[in-house]
Amino acid sequence: MSDLAARFVDLAERERVFWLDGGGSRTWSGRRSLLGALGDEDVSLTYDATAREVRRHTGTHDEVVGDDVFAVLAEEVARDAGDPRVGWAGYLGYACRPDLPATPSATVPDAVWMRVRDPVFVDHPIGPQAPARTPTAATGPVPDDYAAAFAEVQRQLRLGNSYEVNLTYREQLESVVDPVTAYLRLRAASPAPYAGFLRHRGVHLLSSSPERYATVDREGWLETRPIKGTTPRGASTEQDQEHRTALATDPKFRAENLMVVDLLRNDLSMVCEAGTVSVPSLMAVESYASVHQLVSTVRGRLRPGVGTVEALRALFPAGSMTGAPKRRTMEVVEAVEGSPRGVYAGAFGWIGADGRADLGVVIRSLVATATDTGWRYELGTGGGITVRSDLAEEWAETRWKAERLRSVLQVT
């Protein structure tokens, strides 16, 4: 075990702790980890979207301080404005905007944020990542509930109520493997730019996400990097290149990506200066340990007076996890998906008191809570559906996307 992993294991015994893990980072995301643990008197926030309550926690005391997690978080960040030693780490679940249609989580807080003073920074050396083939996933017949949801999505697409729908589902997995062990396995098997671990009073988030939700830099530049289009790595060099080429040229993948880029250009235009919103990279193929991804970059400069948290709200939830147009497509999602998304499809990362922020989209992730016999893990998976989508192909994609997550929970 590395010194960093050992340090994490020690910290993970605390009730409120996080690791924003830079070990699987790319040049564009930096190669630095942030670790932190809260003391008894440090502040954290949780949000219950069903009750519309934001609670502020210190030690054993907690109190309701508002009904909008974005507004409360913005106020808390502003209290330390300009202090580079203070930051907030946490997640926003899919149902954090009550003005948009989304069922709140039934099991864990819809948001968790922790105020951290003087977090630990660890720089990671640059090292090549060898491709790791995607574990074979037994797809089996398409379940009736997924087939029915897919059929209704197709009907809505043909009615013109959406151009693309990100159709997802959750599965519950029981395991005796604890979250710390599972996370160390996950970071070894699937290194990613937005890997990370969070524990807050019995709730654990384990992330191996490759997708940037948003960054805000010191000059107020807002950037998002949506992923739409995914293929597994090939079993040989030749097959791997074939998969890359297919991803870059397939009309369905390109249409999915372009629709989300247009949605995000609109989202950014609501908070950015006119004329600054641009797409510096369109449909680039990025390769990871188990998948190739089709990635675009959209950026713009925030208007004077627009704060970081306000900007994050304008983009929420990520367009790649809804489809287009956002509100109407979220209504379709709400009607066809059989369970709340919870933390899945939200955002996870940090917000600095100096106005900077860096968050990833919560995909390729697990949420864990304790049971009498071990641990219950929730896993979300899915993909973008257009009129060109095939039912069996889409179901198979959801299975191999999630296989590496399932594999880390197996007893060895």
* DSSP notation for 253-293: HHHHHHHHHHHHHHHHHTTB-TT--EEEEEEEEEE-SSEEE
38 found inside a domain? yes
Per annotation, catalytic residue among 164, 211, 378, 397: 211
Given the residues 228, 256, 337, 394, select the one marked as catalytic.
228
211 given a catalytic annotation: yes
pLDDT digits (tens, 9 = 90+) for 191-235: 899 999 999 999 999 999 999 999 999 999 999 999 999 999 888
Question: Distance (Å, rounded) from C-alpha 18 to C-alpha 91?
Answer: 11
Does 373 map to a domain?
yes
400 occurs within a structural domain: yes
Average pLDDT over residues 64-91: 95
Rounded CA gap, 259 and 386, in Å? 10
- Give the pLDDT of residue 375: 98
Number of independent structural domains in the chain = 1
Task: Specify if 412 maps to a domain.
Answer: no
326 catalytically annotated:
no
Cis peptide before 125 (omega within 30 of 0): no
Q: 377-398: per-residue pLDDT in tens?
A: 999 999 999 999 999 999 999 9
Which ranges in 58-114 belong to alpha helices (H)? Answer: 69-79
Q: Which domain holds residue 357?
A: 3-407
Q: How confident is the model at residue 239 (pLDDT cuts 50, 70, 90)?
A: very high
Q: What is the pLDDT of residues 251-290, one digit of tens each?
A: 989 999 999 999 999 999 999 999 999 999 999 999 988 8
Q: How many CB atoms lie within 10 A of CB 188?
A: 14
Give the mean pLDDT of the chain.
93
pLDDT at 267: 97
The enclosing H or E element of 147 equals helix 144-159
Instruction: Give residue-wise pLDDT tens across range 7-41.
Output: 888 888 899 999 999 877 777 777 788 999 999 99
| Cβ–Cβ under 8 Å, residues 263 and 325 | yes
- 24: which DSSP letter? G
Put simply, whether the predicted model's pTM sits higher than 0.85 gets the answer yes
8 Å CB contact between 20 and 33: yes
Q: Please report, for the domain that includes residue 317, its CATH number.
A: 3.60.120.10
